[in-house]
Amino acid sequence: MDVPAPKRVVVLNSSLVEIVFGLGKGETIVGTDVTATYPPEASRIPKVGHPYQPSVEGIISLTPDLVIGAEENLTATSAEQLRGARLPVLIVENSSKEGISGLLRRIEVLARIFNAEEAGERMKQDITRQVAELEKKIALAKKKPRVLFLYAHSPGEAFVYGKETGTHALIELAGGQNAADFTTGTKALTAEGMVQASPDAIIMLHRGLEAVSGVNGALNLPGVAVTPAGKNKKILAVDNSVRWIGPRFPSFAEKLFSEIHAAPSR
């Protein structure tokens, strides 16, 4: 791409924002989507809307010399509109399909774009080290708990996440088995599906758990109460950004590993 060392970038996807900050280039970001809240400085950057439906006019008004999006959320239509306004657009691969491997390739691409190869290499080595340490712990674990991710907007609307999603990668990285691996992508929650999944633990975003009024509210979602997770009230809150595979993913997986392998409370 013919945009050497961009000075003004709009970055659409919170994991990409974290990578750019990790490369030491956070000062170049002039706009992000609403999900970019980490590191804290990212919260103060102007927002251009939802990651799946960013405001094209809002992006253009920020006069970036490069727009960076991810395959999983920047639509071809939005990209075409931006290019029609003569803005260079870089779309990186969907890391949800290949987990950490995809994340490392994203870092390589962005490090090259920003002429920050050394910082990119350090970030990759740190992630690889964390994953290797976690794998040692998983090798000693005696079981592989069945874990299901529930994405709830409200008590009346929730979805499960199957294969080729960021949370599928998170669960596997944490030494668990995705209890919703009978499907790919997202699927509306049903009581029958929940019984089929029969998870030992359920994970929900902090904001999703708040949307259903906490653990007791989650137990009222279809089928949850009859699962092992529901009976043991093993419903865990995870960071709001875990659906996007970013530099903090190994630390999220480390925390989840400890929680899903912990002995039941008495």
Of all residues in the chain, the percent with pLDDT exceeding 70 is 97
Write out the two tokens for 4: 């050497």
Buried b (16+ CB within 10 A) or exposed e, 64-96: bbbbbbbbbbbeeebbebbeeeebbbbbbebbb
Residue 200 amino acid letter:
D
Q: Are 100 and 249 in contact (CB under 8 A)?
A: yes
pLDDT of residue 212: 93
What whole-number distance in Å separates Cα of residue 234 and Cα of residue 128? 30
Res. 120 pLDDT band, cuts 50 70 90: very high
pLDDT of residue 235: 96
Q: Is the pLDDT confidence value at 127 over 90?
A: yes
Q: Are 34 and 50 in contact (CB under 8 A)?
A: yes
Global pTM value: 0.89
- Segment 151-172 shows an average pLDDT of 90
